[in-house]
């Protein structure tokens, strides 16, 4: 932890950190130009658990995920209201450094997006841009990250090979390793298995169950079985609103809202 973060934390007593809440989202409104993409979202996302975000396409689930590490800012005409408290501080606060936010909150995308570099350089990228040059340190972290992402055994003999030569499922695990290498506290996953085959999907789900022991995971998925299999809690979004947020077991067996039930039982979506 960097010194100024702890300072900011104690300087703001109103945001007393709650022990097991990773993100405290307060009255979040998001606009793209005229269009409102998220409406009055209020939710507490727990630490060390997988939170699944489900809902029909266009419901704002990806938008919400991208708010959590400020990736939305890359789009033009993006505007946000409300607060997202992470580690005692609103990540949209003026004096918060967006680079810091993204290093602490990692992200994996729908389509595997390895850089056109070697496997090794992909994982080392996040460290290199932080100015880490020591070869043995890099070697160590690369190996550790690849092991955590359960792909080490498959690639250890060809670290210098181009990452684009890997299969889709391997690429996605490589991207997870790449995200883990910068030692984030949170991992955001945006439909991480939608572009890969069922067997590779199984391995990634297995991996998530392992990773959740040390990371907070938030995952957007369009696959409800997947949400049921891996997540501890589930948020259901519809037309930019958060309809329901609860433990996954409750959402899938006894939803509190009629609309959630309709979606879960497959009446639409």
Q: Is 61 in the site for another protein (CB under 8 A)?
A: no
With CB under 8 A as the contact rule, which of the stretches 81-89, 92-100, 207-215, 256-264 interacts with another protein?
Answer: 92-100
With CB under 8 A as the contact rule, which of the stretches 14-22, 35-43, 70-78, 138-146 interacts with another protein?
Answer: 70-78
**Spatial contact of 212 and 29, defined as CB atoms under 8 Å apart:** no
State the maximum Cα–Cα separation within the chain, in Å, rounded to a whole number: 56
In this structure, the strands spanning 216-220 and 186-190 are parallel
CA distance 35 to 67: 16
Question: What 8-state DSSP symbol labels residue 18?
Answer: P
Which residue shows structure tokens 């973060």? 5
Which one of residues 40, 111, 147, 203 is an interface residue with another protein (CB under 8 A)? Answer: 111
Q: Kindly determine how many residues on this chain lie close enough to bind another protein according to the rule CB under 8 A.
A: 33
**Spatial contact of 158 and 151, defined as CB atoms under 8 Å apart:** no
Residues 176-235 that bind another protein (CB under 8 A): 178-179, 182
Q: Is 2 in the site for another protein (CB under 8 A)?
A: yes
Q: Is 129 in the site for another protein (CB under 8 A)?
A: yes
φ, ψ at 71 (rounded to 5°) = -75, -25
The four Cα atoms 27, 32, 33, 37 give a dihedral, to 10 degrees, of -50
With CB under 8 A as the contact rule, which of the stretches 11-19, 68-76, 223-231, 251-259 interacts with another protein?
Answer: 68-76
* Residue 111 beta carbon to another protein: minimum distance, rounded to whole angstroms: 5
Contact set with another protein (CB under 8 A): 1-4, 69, 71, 74, 76, 97, 99-103, 106-107, 109, 111, 113-117, 125-126, 128-131, 175, 178-179, 182
């Amino acid at each position: 932890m960097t010194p100024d973060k702890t300072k900011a934390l104690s300087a703001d007593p109103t945001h007393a950190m709650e022990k097991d809440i990773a993100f405290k989202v307060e009255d979040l409104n998001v606009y793209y130009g005229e269009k409102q993409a998220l409406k009055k979202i209020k939710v507490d996302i727990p630490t060390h658990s997988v939170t699944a975000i489900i809902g029909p396409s266009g419901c704002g689930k990806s938008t919400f995920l991208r708010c959590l590490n400020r990736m939305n800012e890359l789009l033009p005409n993006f505007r946000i209201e409300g607060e997202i408290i992470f580690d005692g501080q609103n990540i949209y606060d003026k004096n918060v450094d967006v680079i810091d936010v993204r290093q602490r909150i990692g992200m994996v995308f729908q389509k595997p997006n390895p850089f056109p570099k070697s496997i090794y350089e992909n994982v080392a990228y996040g460290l290199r841009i932080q100015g880490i040059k020591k070869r043995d340190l890099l070697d160590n972290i690369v190996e550790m990250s690849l092991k955590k992402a359960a792909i080490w055994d498959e690639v250890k003999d060809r670290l210098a090979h181009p990452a684009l030569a890997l299969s889709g499922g391997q690429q996605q695990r490589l991207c997870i390793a790449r995200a883990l290498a910068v030692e984030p506290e949170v991992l955001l996953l945006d439909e991480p298995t939608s572009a890969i085959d069922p067997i590779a999907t199984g391995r990634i789900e297995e991996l998530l169950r392992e990773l959740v022991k040390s990371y907070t995971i938030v995952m957007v998925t369009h696959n409800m079985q997947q949400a049921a299999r891996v997540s501890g809690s589930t948020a259901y979004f519809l037309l930019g609103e958060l309809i329901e947020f609860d433990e996954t077991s409750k959402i899938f067996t006894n939803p509190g809202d009629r609309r959630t039930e309709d979606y879960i039982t497959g009446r639409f979506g």
